[in-house]
């Protein structure tokens, strides 16, 4: 059984920055990965989502330069970027550096006086696990820039950071994401989930009381790589937009189940049915958490996974096995989480049975001939921030 523990590697990052750039960083910034408890593919349909931030985070060390140059390096990833701010936009960096450099470009476009800078990244958020390593990178970079300018990550600057991170992902990297990941990476609060309503871009904290209730959120990374730019995500989004057009609503949030059931094309009907029922499951989950109604929460998780597997078709054999094994070993409820087509599952587990459930999943994967998964505990954590190192 492999459980990935969160680490604060700030000291290592500072030392690496000094080694790579020859100077000490002036700001350390951070932003979390996330796991979504309910509401998959509902953000870009003007729906509801219920994510939590992970204790596993991406950290960025940064120092301003006087020559206007921009360098981006990582302790985990090969390659990097060196150029000017003008090189950071669409048609510029590709691969992982596009997420970082794109934020600099988007902030500058929004009027933020982004200086030249050296930037080094370190992360404990698993890449390709559907836990939003990309948004963690984007928001950590944005927070680092705000730190250089002595601007806190709150209020209008928090909103500006989110908008820049979403713009980087959509316009520079080319991933048609909906904004949930960036929002929770900035606005998350320890001990809480974040209920986000994309119809009016509002959010509120939802207390989970995990410790008092003796519950733990166990995430299983199936090690089946998940990527938002591989086509499957975009295809689902286009299906939803076409279904909304046929139903004559601005987004599927405005569709009724009766209207959805009347769609003639089966694929579009199933895609839309997932969205409208998933939005309802977010509401049901929030109510179940408030009442500590564990049976209702279990039903919502089971129905959500079935909907993503059958109607939205974004599960895979490994995800199905992880969910089935977790529930079979006594998890209260489990479902795949994130964009799908690989990635992770999340299970509500009694704290005294976490090891037992994780081992059951491992045994199932071994029996099925899958690569060994890794697990992490999703202790709900806070959002992005920064600290100065120069006093």
Asked if the structure places residue 84 within a domain, the reply is: yes
Q: What is the pLDDT of residue 340?
A: 87
pLDDT above 70 for 290: yes
Taking the CA atoms of 273, 276, 281 and 282 in sequence, report the sign of the dihedral they define.
positive
CATH of the domain at 302: 3.30.70.890
Mean pLDDT of 352-372: 97
d(CA 28, CA 334): 35
Asked if the structure places residue 159 within a domain, the reply is: yes
Asked if the structure places residue 1 within a domain, the reply is: no
Query: Please, what is the average pLDDT of the chain?
Result: 95
The β-bridge relationship of strands 116-123 and 69-74 is parallel
CATH of the domain at 187: 3.30.230.10
d(CA 51, CA 58): 17
| Same domain (yes/no): 161, 26 | yes
What amino acid positions are annotated as catalytic residues?
A: 181
Q: How many CA atoms lie within 13 A of 250 on its CB side?
A: 5
Asked if the structure places residue 3 within a domain, the reply is: no
Asked if the structure places residue 4 within a domain, the reply is: no
Asked if the structure places residue 63 within a domain, the reply is: yes
Asked if the structure places residue 334 within a domain, the reply is: yes
pTM: 0.93
pLDDT above 80 for 226: no
Q: What is the pLDDT of residue 157?
A: 97
| Same domain (yes/no): 245, 343 | yes
Residue 38 sits at φ, ψ, to 5 deg, of -170, 145
| Same domain (yes/no): 369, 232 | yes
The single-letter DSSP state of residue 190 is T
| Same domain (yes/no): 25, 57 | yes
d(CA 314, CA 327): 20
H helix runs in 8-152, sequence order? 10-21, 97-109, 133-148
d(CA 40, CA 63): 37
| Same domain (yes/no): 67, 121 | yes
Are the CB atoms for 187 and 31 separated by under 8 Å? no
| Same domain (yes/no): 227, 363 | yes
Taking the CA atoms of 48, 54, 58 and 61 in sequence, report the sign of the dihedral they define.
positive
Beta bridge partners of 377: 218
| Same domain (yes/no): 69, 92 | yes
Query: Tens of pLDDT along 110-129?
Result: 999 999 999 999 999 998 88
* Residue 226 lies in domain: 208-377
d(CA 263, CA 33): 37
Q: How many CA atoms lie within 13 A of 379 on its CB side?
A: 9
Are the CB atoms for 96 and 40 separated by under 8 Å? no
How is residue 196 written in tokens?
């986000």
How is residue 88 written in tokens?
């950071």
| Same domain (yes/no): 299, 185 | no
d(CA 101, CA 87): 8
| Same domain (yes/no): 317, 180 | no
| Same domain (yes/no): 54, 130 | yes
pLDDT above 80 for 228: no
Q: What is the pLDDT of residue 229?
A: 47
Are the CB atoms for 342 and 128 separated by under 8 Å? yes
pLDDT class of 4 with cuts at 50, 70, 90 = confident
| Same domain (yes/no): 214, 269 | yes
pLDDT above 50 for 158: yes
Between 216-230, 251-265, 284-298, the lowest mean confidence (pLDDT) is in 216-230
How is residue 238 written in tokens?
């286009």
d(CA 99, CA 106): 11
Helix-helix angle 232-247:266-291, to 10 degrees: 100
Question: By CB neighbour count within 10 A (0-12 exposed, 13-18 middle, 19+ buried), where does 371 fall?
Answer: exposed
| Same domain (yes/no): 104, 240 | no
How many domains, in total, are found in the chain? 2
Asked if the structure places residue 262 within a domain, the reply is: yes
Other residues' Cβ atoms within 10 Å of the Cβ of residue 257: 12
């Amino acid at each position: 059984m492999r459980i990935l523990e969160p680490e604060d590697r700030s000291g290592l990052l500072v030392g690496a920055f000094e080694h790579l750039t020859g100077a000490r960083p002036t700001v350390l910034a951070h932003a979390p990965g996330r796991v979504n408890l309910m509401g998959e593919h509902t953000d870009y349909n003007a729906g509801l989502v219920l994510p939590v931030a992970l204790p596993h985070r991406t950290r960025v060390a940064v120092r301003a330069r006087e020559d206007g140059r921009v360098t981006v390096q990582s302790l985990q990833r090969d390659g990097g970027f060196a150029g000017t701010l003008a090189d950071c936009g669409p048609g510029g960096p590709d691969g992982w550096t596009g997420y970082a450099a794109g934020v600099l470009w988007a902030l500058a476009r929004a009027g933020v006086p982004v200086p030249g800078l050296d930037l080094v990244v370190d992360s404990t958020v698993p890449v390709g696990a559907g836990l939003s390593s990309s948004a963690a990178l984007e928001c950590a970079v944005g927070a680092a820039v705000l730190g250089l300018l002595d601007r806190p990550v709150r209020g209008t600057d928090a909103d500006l950071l989110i908008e820049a991170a979403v713009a980087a992902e959509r316009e520079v990297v080319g991933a048609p994401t909906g904004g949930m990941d960036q929002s929770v990476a900035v606005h998350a609060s320890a001990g809480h989930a974040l209920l986000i309503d994309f119809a009016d871009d509002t959010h509120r904290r939802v207390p989970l009381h995990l410790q008092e209730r003796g519950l733990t959120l166990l995430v299983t990374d199936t090690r089946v790589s998940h990527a938002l730019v591989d086509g499957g995500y975009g295809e689902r989004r286009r299906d939803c937009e076409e279904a909304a057009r046929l139903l004559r609503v601005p987004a599927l949030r405005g569709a009724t189940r009766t209207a959805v059931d009347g769609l003639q094309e089966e694929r579009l009907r199933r895609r839309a049915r997932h969205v409208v029922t998933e939005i309802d499951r977010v509401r049901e989950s929030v109510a179940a958490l408030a009442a500590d109604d564990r049976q209702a929460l279990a039903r919502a998780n089971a129905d959500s996974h079935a909907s993503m597997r059958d109607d939205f078709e974004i599960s895979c054999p490994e995800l199905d096995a992880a969910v089935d094994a977790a529930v079979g070993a006594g998890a209260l409820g489990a479902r795949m989480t994130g964009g799908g087509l690989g990635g992770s599952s999340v299970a509500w587990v009694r704290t005294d049975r976490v090891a037992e459930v994780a081992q059951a999943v491992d045994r199932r994967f071994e029996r099925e001939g899958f690569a060994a998964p890794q697990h992490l505990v999703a202790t709900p954590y806070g959002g992005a921030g920064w600290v100065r190192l120069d006093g």
